A and B are shown apart, each in its own frame.
Chain A
């Protein structure tokens, strides 16, 4: 499944777009299109195991 932390928003309060764009609720930022691609279900990645953003926010090292 797609990352549960991937949202599509038209605004983050500071900036607004005509079409909703990929937004990461872990880091509370719009993310680059190439980044959003990794959040889809296509690759079978999980935030806890694979996502640099999630693991950094959670204070997890890669060997944990």
Chain B
């Protein structure tokens, strides 16, 4: 997680966030929603160099689903379509009823990884995704029970404090995704990314997520800091202004940039080694 890691040529883990639940086909015809569509994109992204697949499930109408059954359908389809990629299920709080937050952890087999939001996020004018400490600790306990590696989602500096609160309970190495974007998130800039990286606990690995137009510059910056990168249509619908992206094209670009700056891209086996899976 340092510039020395970059100089030493540490492999970079590319995560593909394929679908999410914020926007759907009303925003881009390329956004996969059904298990079959998500699986097809998963296969293409794995072939392009992604070793981690960040998954959400949806209902038939494109809206988010949180049940174990819907996640099972997505995970089964993705496993059938891919060779060795690491599945990472979302337990994200945006639009997720609290009672259902742990359902994505209960597939058979469990995912190797799952997201863990580190704190509250505003939604529009009246709503907040709470992510209380009680919720975070409950999800983390179930992850440990099921042998699932948590990916700590740090949406702002305060969430980094919350991550440090549980760092002693984390399996080595701690793995944090630094998220920069609008609203309650850390304002997107290279300086703010560097600031977050400077405060990471010793030995941590970090992943970088920039929303929209910030995806390319901030993931590129992260590669130089020895970090890992997350790309995909969940976070960004465009390759450049006016040109719609596909998941595959976003992964291809991340791999191309990593190659240009001299970071080898991690295979799934290398990613498992780096992340302690």
Interface residue? B63 (CB, 8 A): yes
The residue of chain B having its C-beta at the shortest distance from the C-beta of A43 within the complex is: B127
Interface residue? A36 (CB, 8 A): yes
A42-B60 CB under 8 A given contacts A32-B26, A50-B125: no
The residue of chain B having its C-beta at the shortest distance from the C-beta of A23 within the complex is: B26
Check if B95 sits within 8 Å of A19, measured CB to CB. no
Check if A33 sits within 8 Å of B97, measured CB to CB. no
Docked pose: A62 CA to B97 CA in angstroms = 27
Total chain B interface residues with beta-carbon distance under 8 A: 21
A20-B95 CB under 8 A given contacts A33-B22, A43-B126, A45-B126: no
For A8, list chain B residues within 8 Å (CB). Answer: 61
Total chain A interface residues with beta-carbon distance under 8 A: 22
Docked pose: A15 CA to B29 CA in angstroms = 10
The 9 closest A-B pairs by CB, nearest first: A30-B26, A37-B95, A33-B63, A32-B23, A34-B22, A19-B60, A50-B126, A33-B24, A19-B61
**15 residue pairs A–B, Cβ–Cβ below 8 Å:** A19-B62, A21-B26, A21-B61, A22-B62, A29-B26, A31-B26, A32-B23, A34-B23, A36-B63, A37-B64, A37-B95, A38-B124, A45-B126, A45-B127, A50-B126
Binding site for A on B (CB under 8 A): 21-27, 58, 60-64, 94-95, 97, 123-127
